[in-house]
Chains A and B, each alone.
Chain A
Amino acid sequence: DTEVTQTPKHLVMGMTNKKSLKCEQHMGHRAMYWYKQKAKKPPELMFVYSYEKLSINESVPSRFSPECPNSSLLNLHLHALQPEDSALYLCASSPGPRGKTNYGYTFGSGTRLTVV
């Protein structure tokens, strides 16, 4: 299995809702990432998990809450989002933590989130 699987593919939620995005990989990768991508822009890093521990939080608002239950799963819990949070949310994984030598990430297909 060489894929990163994200669910759901599309999500519409109200500003008072609570929802979760899920990401799964079975490649044995020990680093997993959440990115946010706005239209026609490059992905922006949100969180990095290394060996199931949160290693980087890029000053993301607390209405986004990541969770790594085990080495294969990564969740992003959403609560009280704003319309400007509407974007494509991408999960990615890599064999090991970020270091000098990087052979690239495997990305999922993303969750298209719309906040109404």
Chain B
Amino acid sequence: TQLLEQSPQFLSIQEGENLTVYCNSSSVFSSLQWYRQEPGEGPVLLVTVVTGGEVKKLKRLTFQFGDARKDSSLHITAAQPGDTGLYLCAGTNSDSTSGTYKYIFGTGTRLKVLA
């Protein structure tokens, strides 16, 4: 069972357009991260959100953690070709069976920004 579903799976847009990527779950997460991964490279951490309702900005990127800490969004303003890559959300979730904490990656959103 995939706990973190991202949408859309793929997105191809023109330079200058705005876009939003969603990361949804039915479970509560104590923290959530967003990463960007370029082909042939490892994921690079963009942001961590911890508090429900928290909004963080990183230049043209705006990250929001849902009030109930079950979902998050990433909004990019005026996308540029350099934003192209695989965007992954990831979060820490308590395993109900073992009581241990698991780190779950989302299903991923592949973004292509055309010049």
A106-B45 CB under 8 A given contacts A101-B30, A101-B50: yes
A107→B35 CA distance, assembly (Å): 10
* In-complex Cβ contact of B42 among A45, A104, A110 (8 A): A110
Residues of B within 8 A of A106 (CB): 45
Kindly identify, within residues 7 to 42 of chain B, every residue whose CB is under 8 Å from any CB belonging to chain A: 30-31, 33, 35, 40-42
Which chain A positions have C-beta within 8 A of B108? Answer: 40-42
Interface residues on A, range: 20 to 34
Residue of A nearest to B91 (CB): A102
Nearest-CB residue, chain A, relative to B101 = A98
Q: Are A107 and B44 in contact (CB under 8 A)?
A: yes
B92 CB-CB contact with A under 8 Å = yes
CA A49 – CA B11 in complex, angstroms? 36
Q: Which of B41, B45, B106, B110 contacts A105 (CB 8 A)?
A: B45
B105 and A98 contacting across the interface, CB-CB below 8 Å: no
Chain B positions near chain A (C-beta within 8 angstroms): 30-31, 33, 35, 40-45, 48, 50, 86, 88, 90-92, 94, 100-103, 105-108, 110
A-B contact pairs, 25 of them (CB 8 A): A4-B42, A40-B86, A40-B110, A41-B108, A42-B105, A42-B107, A43-B43, A43-B105, A45-B103, A90-B42, A98-B92, A98-B101, A99-B92, A99-B101, A100-B92, A102-B31, A102-B33, A102-B92, A102-B101, A102-B103, A103-B33, A104-B48, A106-B45, A107-B35, A110-B42
